[in-house]
Structure 1
């Protein structure tokens, strides 16, 4: 097999992580909204503003089982000398008491029921006892009540018209509870992005296949699919493809026709057979000359087709990135970071294409830094980047690096401060520590690493990152 790459493989210009994130987030746009049943909207991003449709609570509401009373009638009540009140009725949740609570009387009331007119307090059942009055039921109140006691006034939580959720909000169970309370049986949410995924590499086998000499199973595709689903996308796994430029280019064209975004893993570095590096370099050079084409979709497919037609002889002009908004072209093909510096991204016919490393550790970092924020942006997120916290390193990092490093870690708390314990097996090609990691710790570039106790930035992963 001929080498796919010449000297052009070394002409990649690294951009900082923040700049690469900016380019991706500026290039993608939220997908159109769709109407979904409220119970299906957990984890989705809201595409409309939602307001309280009534005051909440909509009436003065009892917070306890007990008796609705005039607080003044109980002012002198004690356990030894309780106030005696005549009981004139009962009101349960969902009912409305027809009368008015007069001085010297009480109404038996259940939690959540509307407090009758005339009453200004609810005495909890445990502070009362039944009393026998000639010809009438009575209650003994053994402690004084104050106005408003155990009563939620109308509008205490929300006033009619108050905003309860804004566009871009990721809907959790609490939001769903609010929306259901105010009658939103359906809401507008952004469509989930459909993400095609495939791996490149002649060495790859299906996950279910027995190992063979020199071969490994394609675990990256399954990992990426799980990552896509974890941030709200719909994964479309397309398997693995050998290091064949024609096959990979055709697979990319088909994937871009079917999906809203495409992620590949493998073949992105400077190796002789790294086909994705050639394709991304083609997008970098050729797109600039075709950005003004009358048919952007056709031009985008031509960029991929050029690899099929010219294969290993492909030499590509130009070094500049395509202007934002052109709809196709390279965003970056090298990032100043470890691991995963060859991580690349492009836009093809307005759809994002990410070429991630084939090394599992680097693949994971590339997804978290550049894919997850973009997929969240495509779903309308108002804050697509990871949450970060400052943490103290639990142990020293002795080795320096010319670029910032993103190291898998377990984040915990000690003496009220976040601490970051770096995990073993943290090299780009290693995967043993992937399940344990709940953070990526950024170790700044420098010749000497970082000392134990040094303050570092930690990007939160898993349940912590939202």
Structure 2
């Protein structure tokens, strides 16, 4: 960070560090999605077998009626319902069998009065037939002269056990819209309607790095005063879960030059950047320095190359490569929430940068509220915000807060089927013990008392 001379300058620096206006979570999400709307990456075609887990980039429509013909729902006999209207086990209806048809074949003979066709599951119903009788309700027989026949032991109605043409889908009907997550069931539909290749949204490439001179690689032995960088891998897993591709840089020291190099490289290779740590108001919170410099406009006043781009030269010594000034702004640098109030976001050179808290719990919450929705929106998902349900608090959350609190919780049902939110222990911002068990984030409204047992609250569902 830039040195300042004199007590007056030092006081101004201290004051500016704390001068971060908190925005509501909903407003921060609105700004995030608005920025993400301009970052759609386009589409690519992939083989159907590789489409699972991707987001559609096209509307999928039925290329024919489905079923494409009236087909039998089971093994039995195709008949005219009028011929078996009075059939009972004691007075069976005898019909002459004129043909047999399997799935994939067509009957050569039509069903006429007094006749039947042996039919297998999935086969096309012969002309003239309007019902299928299951095999268990029949018995083989012979007519005088030895011709094959069948005894029908139960009456049947027109349409029974027949799937009519177009029962599930009609030609041209929409099957799925852009932004839909392709699940195995979608793959089956796509294959049914002949989609050998599918247009899907390109995966956003997300650079991930953690700031903190105290951080060690995951495989390193612990040392006094040092901890392992677990945030980078956690965030990378959440990025993959969101359908994007993480590029993990690992940890960086609290040095402007290291951050400079990482940002410069990331902007050349990634579509979006997520950092953890360095966003608070400490003397070594380098990401906070960067955001403050952008807000103050000092990042874009020198080293101009042309009318559209400028090298970044911040108070902290950053000098990353040529960004578009018109596409650079701080979206927010403080959010009215606990944990993770220092969470920050900016658009720099037309690319999104999220700076999450270094505390694991706050990092986790910040990702769910802001980063995941942005990644989904970039992949064409219009309903990108996390899903919410209503639940009753199983145990009280007594801690007061000036901002809405997001408490990791599990979800259970009581005897009458009502949904209950059971707040987890070890849910402080710096704690990670409850992250793996969390099924949702209980939203505890701001206030002096928290929320009592039995209070009805919203719970944000965790994928």
Query: What interval of TM-score do these two structures reach, taking the shorter chain for normalisation?
Result: over 0.9
Matching of residue 173 in structure 1 with residue 184 in structure 2: yes
Contact 1:3-1:272 within 8 A present in 2 as well: no
Contact 1:197-1:236 within 8 A present in 2 as well: yes
Inter-partner Cα distance in structure 2 for 1:456 and 1:71: 57
1:190 pairs with one of 201, 205, 211 = 201
2:68 pairs with one of 33, 58, 72 = 58
1:184 CA drift (Å): 1.2
Alignment correspondent of 1:315: none
Where 2:265 maps in the other structure, the secondary structure is helix
Deviations 1:196-238 (A, max 9, x none): 1011111000000000000000000000000000010101100
Inter-partner Cα distance in structure 2 for 1:123 and 1:158: 25
Where 1:303 maps in the other structure, the secondary structure is coil
Matching of residue 25 in structure 1 with residue 33 in structure 2: yes
1:117 CA drift (Å): 0.3
Matching of residue 408 in structure 1 with residue 408 in structure 2: yes
Q: Would the alpha carbon gap of residues 297 and 265 (structure 1) be closer, same or farther in structure 2, given more than 3 Å must change?
A: farther
Alignment correspondent of 1:319: none
Matching of residue 129 in structure 1 with residue 139 in structure 2: yes
Runs of at least 5 residues in structure 2 that lack an aligned partner in the other structure: 5-12, 320-324
Q: Would the alpha carbon gap of residues 335 and 132 (structure 1) be closer, same or farther in structure 2, given more than 3 Å must change?
A: same
Contact 1:121-1:145 within 8 A present in 2 as well: yes
Alignment correspondent of 1:318: none
Where 2:109 maps in the other structure, the secondary structure is coil
Deviations 1:367-419 (A, max 9, x none): 00000000001111121111111111111111211000001001122222211
1:6 CA drift (Å): 3.5
Matching of residue 307 in structure 1 with residue 316 in structure 2: yes
- Structure-1-length-normalised TM-score: 0.92
Inter-partner Cα distance in structure 2 for 1:297 and 1:168: 33
Deviations 1:353-373 (A, max 9, x none): 111100000000000000000
Alignment correspondent of 1:90: 100
1:163 CA drift (Å): 1.3
- Structure-2-length-normalised TM-score: 0.92
Inter-partner Cα distance in structure 2 for 1:36 and 1:217: 38
Alignment correspondent of 2:454: 453
Alignment correspondent of 2:421: 420
1:168 CA drift (Å): 2.2
Where 1:307 maps in the other structure, the secondary structure is coil
Corresponding pairs, count: 446
Where 2:220 maps in the other structure, the secondary structure is coil
Runs of at least 5 residues in structure 1 that lack an aligned partner in the other structure: 311-324
Contact 2:300-2:313 within 8 A present in 1 as well: no
Q: Would the alpha carbon gap of residues 309 and 263 (structure 1) be closer, same or farther in structure 2, given more than 3 Å must change?
A: closer
2:243 pairs with one of 225, 232, 242 = 232
Inter-partner Cα distance in structure 2 for 1:429 and 1:3: 30
Alignment correspondent of 1:243: 254
Where 1:308 maps in the other structure, the secondary structure is coil
Q: Would the alpha carbon gap of residues 127 and 412 (structure 1) be closer, same or farther in structure 2, given more than 3 Å must change?
A: same
Where 1:226 maps in the other structure, the secondary structure is helix
Contact 1:249-1:305 within 8 A present in 2 as well: no
1:289 CA drift (Å): 6.3
RMSD across aligned positions (CA): 2.1
Q: Would the alpha carbon gap of residues 309 and 73 (structure 1) be closer, same or farther in structure 2, given more than 3 Å must change?
A: closer
1:298 CA drift (Å): 3.6
2:154 pairs with one of 121, 128, 143 = 143
Contact 2:67-2:166 within 8 A present in 1 as well: yes
Q: Would the alpha carbon gap of residues 67 and 278 (structure 1) be closer, same or farther in structure 2, given more than 3 Å must change?
A: same
